[in-house]
Amino acid sequence: QLSLLTTSQMVGDYFNNGYYHEMIHANQLPFLEDEPEAAHDEITVAHIMSSSIVTLRDNLPITSSTTIAELLQVKADDPKAKHAAYPVVDDGGRYVGLVDTHDVSKAAQHAAQGMTVADIADPCVASARAKQPASFAFIVYKRLGQRHVPVVDESNVVVGMVTRHDLDGHKAEHIHSTLDKSVSHTQGLSYLKYKAQLSVSHVSHVVPDGSKA
């Protein structure tokens, strides 16, 4: 009987996900498979990314009292100061690197004269293009161990961010299934390009004088 139950379980898991696996998705827990879903190849990074992001200018000064809230010119309890990481951009909005809150706190403790955000930004954090398949962002996240994947356009301007929640397989399948099936492949690519261009307007760039670009 034990062998029969084991065989039945194996056959069931082959055709369907196991009970606990399904419960993970039912409860919307941030669990990712080892490989991207087929749907990730059918949609783009622009479809899954968050476009409501805040970037930091590379020439913002770092002093012994610097905090994320100070850099953002907001109060400490402002939602903008609660993100775990921020893309760093130059005066044209182009991607320079990534900083997280720990980087800022650590740098403030050892701030040197003339230190700026550019000095603590990690330029090795890989970005993804908005028009690339979502599976590319998934692979960057899983294989490189990045918790954040900045998204850029063809000019390397930051247009969004991808995190674990955005890479959920069920989310990708839902997005793919809701795409207008009547739209031709060519029209679909034009639509994705349009979406990527629209997302730029949602990006808030913080510059040294406290204004926003």
Same domain, 157 and 134: yes
Q: For residue 80, is it within any domain?
A: no
- CATH number for the domain spanning 172: value is 3.10.580.10
Task: Give the model's pLDDT for residue 20.
Answer: 46
Q: For residue 63, is it within any domain?
A: no
Number of domains making up the chain? 2
Q: For residue 7, is it within any domain?
A: yes
Q: For residue 212, is it within any domain?
A: no
Average pLDDT, the chain: 81
Judge contact between 90 and 122, C-beta under 8 A: no
Model-level pTM?
A: 0.72
Render pLDDT for 182-202 as a digit per residue (tens, 0 to 9).
Answer: 455 555 555 555 555 554 444
CA–CA dist 95, 152 (Å, integer): 7
Task: Give the model's pLDDT for residue 190.
Answer: 58
Same domain, 53 and 127: yes
Same domain, 142 and 93: yes
Task: Give the model's pLDDT for residue 135.
Answer: 96
Q: Nearest CA to 70 among 61, 5, 127, 50?
A: 61
Q: For residue 199, is it within any domain?
A: yes
Judge contact between 212 and 206, C-beta under 8 A: yes
